[in-house]
Structure 1
C-alpha cells in the first residue's frame, strides 16, 4: 500500500527525482560499457594482414601499447565521475528531505501552543465576540425602530443566543483566572472551551447578517433608514445640551467623587455627534449621486456615532437620577443600619464571630455611621458612596441585610454596573478581556446573592487603565470625530479612513461594508 507521505508528494517532485535517477544510471552504464569494451576486444585477431618485421613495425608497437592504457583509464574516470554525481545528488535529496517545508508534504506534527499562546487566543476571542455582540445590538436598535419588534424577532433571538454563549465563555474564563481547574490539561481544555463558546457566538450572528441586510435593503436605498438616524440625532443634540447643564449641577451639588464617573461624557457625546453629522451628510450626498454602497456605509457609521452619543448622554442622566435617589435614601439607611447594630449587640452570644471580633466590627460600624452623619451636615458629599459604606459596615456584622439597607446596596450596585457598562461600550476599541470579564461577572451577580459592586468597580478601573495605555493612530482626526469613532469601536481601524463601520454580525460579517 502506498504511504500517505508518498501520496502527498507533488507530481512534479516525483518526475524530477525519476529524471535524476535515470541520468545517474545512464552515466554508470555508459562508463561500465566503456570499461568493458577493451576487454571484450582484446582476444580478437587483427583484421589487418601481418607485415614483415622491420623498422616501421617496431615503431608502431609502442603506439599500440599507449592506446591500450588510455582506453583503460578514461572509462575509469567516467565511472568515478558518474558515481560522484550520483552521490552528490543523493546527499542533496537527503538534506532537502530533512528541512523540507513544501506545502502538502507532512514532515512533522504541528507544534502544540504553549499555555501563554492559548491564553492570548482566549483573550482575543473574548474581546472579538464581545465587540460583535455590542456592535450588533447597536445596529439592531435602528432596525427595530424602523420595522418594529416583530420583524426583527429572528435577529433579536440570534443576539440573545450569542449573549448567552459569550456569558458562558466569560464565566469559564473567570474561573480559569481564579485557578479553577488546577490540572494543566484541564486548564488547557477550559481555554479551548472559551474559544469555542466565542466562536459559536460569532456563528450565531454571522448566520443572520445576510437576512438582516435583506430586510434593511440599504443597497437599494437609504431614505427611510436615514430619516430614522437623523431623527434620533436631533433628539440627542437637544439632550446633550441638557446633559451639559446636568453635569455642571452634579459638580456643584455633590462632592467631586459623585460626578467623576461621567467626567468628560458630554464632550465625548459632542464628539460622536460631530462624527455622525459628517457621516449623515456624506450618506445623503452619496445617495443623491447614486452611490448606494457608499451611502449605506456612511449611514451605518453615523448610526454607530448616534448610538454611542446616546450611551454617553444617558450615562449622565442616569447618574444624576441615582444620586438624587441615594440622597433621599441616606437618612433611612442610617436608621436601618442602627437597628442592625443593635441587633448584633443583642444577639452577640449567638453570632458566628468571636466576641472580640464582633465588638471590633460593631465599633467600626458605629464609626462609619458617625462619619456619614457628619458629612450630611458639613457640606457637599457623595450619596452613593455614603450608602456603599453603610451597607458594607452592616454586612461585616454578619447579621444579614434587609429592608432599607438592602435597597441601598442594590442601588449602589446597579449604579456601579451601569457606569462600567457605559464606559466599556463607548471605549471598546481599547478595552481588554480582563475588564470585560469583570463586567460580565458583575452583570451575572445582579440577579444573585453575590454583591456586584466590587467586580463592577474593578471592571471600570481596568477599562480606564486600558484606555490610558491605548495608542490611537487616528489621533489627528479629533476635528471630525474620527479618533473617537475608532476608540469607540464604531470603525474597525482597517483602512486609512478608519475602516468599515461595525455592522450586525460575527467575525466573518461585521466588517462587510468595505468600499472597493
Structure 2
C-alpha cells in the first residue's frame, strides 16, 4: 500500500513476504556476527593470559626480593688461579724436556732428517712456553697491576701452556710410528744399551775428575766453599740412575723375548729417561772442570782489563760506583796473589758484577769473562732442573727460562742471565728440600726408584713409581704407562 490513503493502489505481490525474508536474513547474519566477535575476544584474552602467565613464570624464576642481590657465579680467588697457572707451566716444561730427551734417542737411530718434523713441533711448543714464562715473569714483578688484567694474564699463561701441550700431543702418534717400538724394539734397545755402556765407562773418569777438583779447591776456606758445591753428589746420583737403567734394560730385553711388547716398551722408556739424566750429571762435572780451567787462565787478564776501564772512566779515588768497583777488584787481586787456593769462577763473577754498573763488560776480555760465567751458571741450573724435575716448581723454571732467553738475545746479556740462573738454582734446591723423597725405603733405594721419581723419569703415581713419561703433551705423555711388569720378566744386571 502507498502512504496516500485517498488513492488506493494495488501493492506488488510478494512484497510483504520478501520483506519478511529480508528481515529474517538480516536477523540471522546479525546473530552470527554477535557470536563470532565474543569468540575472538575470548581467544585474545586467552592468548594474553597465556603470555602473562609465561612472563610471570619467568619473573618468578629470576625474581629477587627488594634489598636482596641476585646470586652471581662464584669468582675464583686469584691465588687459586696463580696455582693453576704455575701447575700448567710445570707440566708444559716437563713435557717439553721429556720430548726433547726421547727425541735424542730417536735421532740416534733414524738420523736428523727423519726426526726433523718432530724437532719443528718441539720448537713451536718451546716458543709457546717461552711466551708463557715471559708473562709469568712480568706477573711476578707486578705487571699488570689491575686485578682484571692480572686474571687475564693468568688465563694467557694457561692458554699458552695448553697450546704447547696440544702441539706435542698432535705429533705423538706420528712419533710412535717413526720409532715403531711395537713392531721391532730390538734396535731401540741396542741404542739405549750403547749409551748406557758409554756412560758406565765414563763414570770412573768423572769421579776422578771431581776428586781432583775437591783437592785443588778444598771447601775449608770461606771463598772456595762453593767451588764444587754445584756438582756435589752428582757422581753418586749418576750411578743411581745407571742402576735403575740396568734393571729396566734387562726387564725390557726379557719382556721382548717373551713377546710382552707393551711391558718391554714401558721398561725401555724408563731406562732411556734414567740414562739421559745420568749423562746430565756426568756432563755437569766435566763442564765445571773445563770452566774452572778456563777461568783460571782468564782471571788475570780480566782483572787488568777491568782496572784499565776504571782508570779511563774516572780519576782514581772518585767516589761512586767506580770506587766500589775498584775496591772489589782490589779484593780479587789480593786473593789472586795470595798463597791459598781461590775459586777462579767466583773471582770472574765478582769482576763482572763490579764492572756492570759502569756499563763495561759487553766485549773484549770482560765480555768473555761474563759469557763464561753466565753460560756456566745457566747450564748448571738447567741441569739441576732437568734431573730434579719431579720436585722443581714454577718460580725456579720461570727464572731459568728468562736466563736462557737473555743468553739468546742479540746482543746477549750474560751478566743478567747469571743473576737469574743463580736465583733459579737456589729456588730449585729449596723445592727439592721441601719435596723430600717418598721412596726412601731400602728396596726402592737400591733399585733407583726414588731418584727416578725425583728426576721425573717416573711420574710417582703408583707404589712402584708410576708410569714412565714419553714424547708428547699432557694427553699422551703417559701412554706408555702400564701395570707393573710381569714377575717372570723381572731381573737385575
- Sort the TM-score into its range (normalised by shorter chain): 0.7 to 0.9
SS of the residue corresponding to residue 319 of structure 2 reads: helix
**Contiguous gaps of at least 5 residues in structure 1:** 1-96, 99-106, 349-355
How many Å separate the matches in 2 of 1:237 and 1:400?
Answer: 41
Please tell me whether the aligned partners of residues 209 and 504 of structure 1 are also in contact (alpha carbons under 8 angstroms): yes
Tell me if 1:461 matches 2:461. Answer: no
Selected match of 1:508 from 475, 482, 488: 475
How many Å separate the matches in 1 of 2:195 and 2:129?
Answer: 29
Aligned to 1:197: 160
Aligned to 1:373: 333
How many Å separate the matches in 2 of 1:129 and 1:242?
Answer: 35
How many Å separate the matches in 1 of 2:462 and 2:213?
Answer: 40
Tell me if 1:291 matches 2:260. Answer: yes
How many Å separate the matches in 1 of 2:362 and 2:193?
Answer: 48
Aligned to 1:433: 394
Q: 1:109 to 1:233 in 2, by over 3 A?
A: farther
How many Å separate the matches in 2 of 1:363 and 1:193?
Answer: 45
Please tell me whether the aligned partners of residues 221 and 287 of structure 1 are also in contact (alpha carbons under 8 angstroms): no
SS of the residue corresponding to residue 252 of structure 2 reads: helix
The structural deviation recorded for 1:109 is: 6.7
Q: Deviations over 1:154-186 (max 9, x none)?
A: 111111111110000000010011011111111
Selected match of 1:390 from 345, 351, 359: 351
Aligned to 1:154: 117
Q: Deviations over 1:272-305 (max 9, x none)?
A: 0000000000000101111010001000100000
SS of the residue corresponding to residue 365 of structure 2 reads: helix
TM-score w.r.t. the length of structure 1 is: 0.76
SS of the residue corresponding to residue 472 of structure 2 reads: coil
The structural deviation recorded for 1:366 is: 2.5
Alignment RMSD: 1.8
Q: Deviations over 1:474-503 (max 9, x none)?
A: 222111000000000000112221111010
SS of the residue corresponding to residue 446 of structure 2 reads: coil
Tell me if 1:210 matches 2:173. Answer: yes
How many Å separate the matches in 2 of 1:117 and 1:396?
Answer: 39
Aligned to 2:101: 138
Please tell me whether the aligned partners of residues 382 and 400 of structure 2 are also in contact (alpha carbons under 8 angstroms): yes
SS of the residue corresponding to residue 179 of structure 1 reads: coil
How many Å separate the matches in 2 of 1:311 and 1:400?
Answer: 30
Q: Deviations over 1:291-348 (max 9, x none)?
A: 01000100010000000000000100111111111100001001101111101225x9
Selected match of 2:85 from 92, 104, 122: 122
SS of the residue corresponding to residue 429 of structure 1 reads: coil
The structural deviation recorded for 1:110 is: 4.9
How many Å separate the matches in 1 of 2:453 and 2:156?
Answer: 30
Please tell me whether the aligned partners of residues 344 and 399 of structure 1 are also in contact (alpha carbons under 8 angstroms): no
Aligned to 2:381: 420
Selected match of 1:248 from 207, 211, 222: 211
Q: 1:496 to 1:110 in 2, by over 3 A?
A: farther
Q: How does 1:27-42 map to 2 (within 5 A)?
A: none
Q: Aligned pair count?
A: 403
Please tell me whether the aligned partners of residues 360 and 366 of structure 2 are also in contact (alpha carbons under 8 angstroms): no
Tell me if 1:264 matches 2:227. Answer: no
The structural deviation recorded for 1:111 is: 2.5
SS of the residue corresponding to residue 411 of structure 1 reads: helix
TM-score w.r.t. the length of structure 2 is: 0.79
How many Å separate the matches in 2 of 1:366 and 1:178?
Answer: 32
